Structure 1
Amino acid sequence: RLVSHRPSSRHPFCCKLSAKRPSLCLSGIVNEKLLSDYLHQVFPSTKQGPAVASIKSTEMTLTDVCLFSDQSVEGRLGPQPVVLDHTSGFEGLLFVDDDLLGVIGHSNFSSIRATTCVYKGKWAYEVLISSQGLMQIGWCTLSCRFNQEEGVGDTPDSYAYDGNRVRKWNVTTTNYGKSWAAGDVVSCLIDLDEGTITFCLNGQSLGTAFTNIKTGPGVAYFPAISLSFKESVAFNFGSRPLRYPSRYLPLQDPPTADLMKAHKLLGYIKNVLSTSTDTQEEKLVEKDSAVWRLHGDPTVLITLAHIFNHFAPLMCKVYLVEDVLMNFLLGILEGGGSVDEHPLIQQLLDLFWLLMEDHEVNECLKQLMMSLLRAYRFSPIIPDLGFQIHYLRLTTAILRHEKSRNFLFVSLTDGTFDVLRSVVFFYIKTPLRVKEAGLEELIPTTWWPTHFDKEGKDEREPKDESSDERLRRRAYERGCQRLKKRIEVVEELQVQILRLLLNNKDKTTGEASRYIFLNKFRKFLQENASNRGQHPTALCPPEYMVCFLHRLITAVRSYWDEGNRTSPASLSSEEAYVPPQLFYNGKVDYFDLQRLGGLLSHLKKTLKDDLASKANIIIDPAEIQATSMDDLDEDEESGAAQRPFGAAAMGAALARPSWLSSPTLGRANRFLSTAAVSLMTPRRPLSQPEKVKVRTLAVEQRTEEDSEF
């Protein structure tokens, strides 16, 4: 038995070896020369020699890397890590995140500064804009005094950039820069040697904002911000890699020693993935790492266990996860193709769960997903949406791994990757600056119809167009089609993510992903609909909600139609509908939603007679169960028994009455209402079929008003 040398706090990785192989050396795996060649190939910095000596030499090399220490940089005062000063460096009422890097304004005009200041040299920090309202971001000295009316830039020795009003502030104000939007990144640069302050927006310099700022003995500048009610940002002083690095130093030192060690260890892992041993011919074989599989080869497993002994603790640090691991995984997907064509990520995740402690892989996955979410949200818009597609592909690949997916939505009790935050993945940021987004090249000309009919359509025949109008129209339509195709690629990836979360065939013994997600989605709807006791900034923005619900309905529709193909007697998603009475007869709990017409209690009180006269269909709650989405994708055993009943319920009880075939009601009662009712009450499959009771008015009993309804 071989045991990898690991600290006592870590579980040992063991490998039992066969005693029938006479050609094994001390390690008991392969002959000594082949093992030595293999270790020399994996660890090229070590000297070739006996196997045990190679392992010890490698361990000493890794230890030597750890001894490297960062040199202190002159010109900075304050603690490391750099965070927001929530104890004394603020004015007004603010909400500060647990990591002391995110802040939300909760009063008229609140201000806060960081814990570290600079007095010499060139320094930078970044601000991730989460809302595009009134904010002033920049630098201030310790002598600056702010209040509810005056903030950063309104006092002497404080300097600020305001992208909402597109101005710069230092007691007086002038036009400066460009307007910002949610999802933009502002870089704040100060050169205390030259006495200048510059701001950048998404990596593009806005020009020098201030010159001849006050410097000298007793003068030091803190990063600072003033923001109005409900505005929110997140700071990056260097705890994560700067999105747009420059020749200016981040206020917080990067973990240089750990960074060097992580890159070195990652290189060793890459060597393992691309090298194998041929024990028959006793030689090394190079192979494509993309086709690597986690088999029970003792040589590979023990080598990887030795590497992960040093690599795993590093993957608990957000800087290393974002700079090393995320970039490595993104590189695997760079070749294009579907995510299914890149199984290496699944194999690596299996390796993580095998060789890392549970708390290590949990922290690593949490930081990885949050890094992907930040990267997606704050990526610049380019014509092909390449950044967004890149990050969504990796997110999809990770969520395809069942154990990792269940952990992200079950084990995270702090809600780090919950529905509210993951909604960001389903929003496509709208560019405010057309030229920077490349839309002028994509759609070089504009066109609009000049003659409209009553429905708003162009009533002019193509033959009536002039040649110039025809060219402009065709160029415009081609550009719109190109943009549409690129957006459809992003939307398809977003739908794939939701299909994974709605998966009902997990192989693990725990709850299915669908059940977990729908319970969280139910809570998400309650919090965003009732608005009781919720801070306004904790609610999902409407534009995010619309995109999320659109992708969710598309994913549910695809599962619905898959079930329809296996049960031809059931209705398709195009034909299914929910009778309108379910929205006011009290059969479904809608959490007291504010909606058109007021609360349900108000409707029943003020429109009691009208509701009673129109309630000509009564459906038991069992019908909702029978048509819930949980019945669309049962396991093979239970599906065979329950689907005939489900098909009958959907095909007979919910068949569309002829009096509901008017265009208006046909559009109003289509799939959206069906999906809404199905998603409101997630539940397990029914233990046994229940009868569905339906009562309708006979045709001769219906009045003209009923038919119109």
Structure 2
Amino acid sequence: MVCFLHRLITAIRGYWDEGKRKSPGCISSEEAYVPPQLFYNGKVDYFDLQRLGGLLSHLKKTLKDDLASKANIIIDPAEIQATSMDDLDEDEESGAAQRPFGAAAMGGALARPSWLSSPTLGRANRFLSTAAVSLMTPRRPLAPPEKVKVRTLAVEQRTEEDIEGSHGNDGLLLGRPLEEPDQPITEKSLLEILDGVVMMYNLSVHQQLGKMVVVSDDVHEYAVALKDTEEKIARCPSRRPDILEELQKSQKVFAEKLNHLSRRLAWINATIYSREKMLDVYWLLRVCIRTIEHADNTGSLFAFTPEFYLNVAMNSYSALKNYFSPSNNMDELPGYEETLTQLAAILAKHFADPRIVGTDIKDSLMQALASYVCYPQSLRAVERIPEEQRVAMMRNLLAPYEQRPWAQTNWILVRLWRGCGFGYRYTRLPHLLKTKPEDANLPSLQKPCPSLLLQRHMAELLCQDKDMAASFLNSVLNQLNWAFSEFIGMIQEIQQAAERPERNFVDTRQLKVCATCFDLSVSLLRVLEMTVTLVPEIFLDWARPSAELLLRRLAQLLNQVLNRVTAERNLFDRVVNLRLPGLESVDHYPILVAVTGILVRILVDSDRQGVSRAAAVLLSDPCFQLHSIQHLLGENEVNEAGATLPASERKHFSLHAYTDYISPEEEQKVEQMLRFLTEESKEAAASAAPTSEEDLCPICYAHPISATFKPCSHKSCKACINQHLMNNKDCFFCKATITGVEDYSKPASS
């Protein structure tokens, strides 16, 4: 199929450009695209392939008015009832009656062979039959637009008139939307073949290109094995000829296999991954981009576009980037920078497009955008798209995390910040430097490349839209609470399993989920650090109605994380020291520096009023423990009896130990923060007044009662009820709908 695809592209471009020479008004093959009317006028059979807006039968019902108003097409009521082309083919007579008399005279419809139900074989057969009908028929003049009743025709029922049109009938181009330019493109049969080439790439060619990359991986593995064997032969003592003989046998096997694979790789690079073949795939990428752009201009009719056009756009770019020989540089492709920007615009616009309903294609778009922002060149392409589209993309990324897949969204925001955060300039974690990565080309292992431009857009949006900022941060805090709680629960189970005397194995899936929850916790903390750095007033400007509540919730979560992670020889410590396979990313450094970055920003880098508010809220939280802050610098480590630990038993983690990751300026800020909190905690302890148990909030048992609910008159502290109202309007105790909250103060005793 790979060879067939390249030959078909060569033939299409040859005939396309020949038609351009005969009809100068047509576009050249360099500007080729598939017009959007092919996706909804019923002239082309897409079998049961998914459309961006869902099932075709559903789209015909919901968008029939748009088809009539925008494309002058009225869907046959019988067509709306049909669920697939096969349903229509059951009654051949009714299908034949739909055709003009002249078409019937040319030959009746043949029974459809069962093997034609296969999209791959059926479409391949259609390429040849369509080309045979008419390849270079002159274009007819266009008639004034009128509403036409259409019904999808099976491939075997179509005639040359159905494809090329006649006497004002547009054939394949029936139903041109107003947004589509009124100019000839090329011969209509070529458009259908081009559409089939895109489908062919999606169905089989991309997978075949990917399989051939395995040869390159095998060559690398055998080369490493051969080198390792030769080094062992050089170290083998002369007194062990038996070992030497076995090593030489292995060397011979590896050398023969490497020779065979190297020849095969050379052939693949010369034939499959050559410069000419790369240009073909690049041309197909540009065809898909232009097709998507034209379809997008039709508004609601964009939903009729088959999903495989977006898939091929993403996959062909991936193939160009990852499959082709390094000697074929992508930067040398004609118009590469512009193409990169066009693809960036498509990903930025459509990853949250409400016209796209398929879960799989939406996930693919999100993953493609997440990968796009990991590489400097493609990230700069995102920054080159129009400002309106950039702002809209950031607004979609800042939508509340509830009720949608949020992990990839959060990952994108983290990548935009990585390189700017506290101690966040690393490519790999410090404790993993001595291990080899499985694949250095993975997006997550790319060097930090933050986007100050997109950060600025984020700051402007959060600053201007207070409601959006509050709902976004509330969702981030909710997800952080969930992710870290799940992580702690799972490491408790892992620790219990590891301490059992009988031989046992921890489920690898559980380890993977545990590591994922830890990574999510770290990334959510980094998004909070990014937010508090870019827009500190969201937490510290109490003129905002949600600022105090958000700051209290932030302080609560930061204290919980610190207490769990910094306690000496605690659960987290023990699980980290086990170094279980699958938990490689779980370590003190990534989560503690993320927390430290947030604390430094609100306690050191803010103005005096902001620092005062942040310190008061942090110290008033019942979970605050000063020694958790001291542990960041490895200070004041004591045992359970209160004695200072000897140096040999002290906790290993200290920010001072990461001189390659933490700058001297950052260390000084942490020391300044520790001194400030030490003084503030002493003052707070001296001025604290005891509170009786009956005056404590019945929800958290940490703060005094300070609020009354209306109309039910139940009571709690302000922090608890405000946090509850962010997600639920029912009373915490009686489930009555809360209409208001009033301040409460205990009446003075007589």
Q: Same fold (TM over 0.5)?
A: no
Using the size of structure 1 for normalisation, the TM-score is: 0.35
Structure with the bigger percentage of helix:
2
Q: Highest Rg: 1 or 2?
A: 2
Please state which structure has a larger fraction of its residues in strand. 1
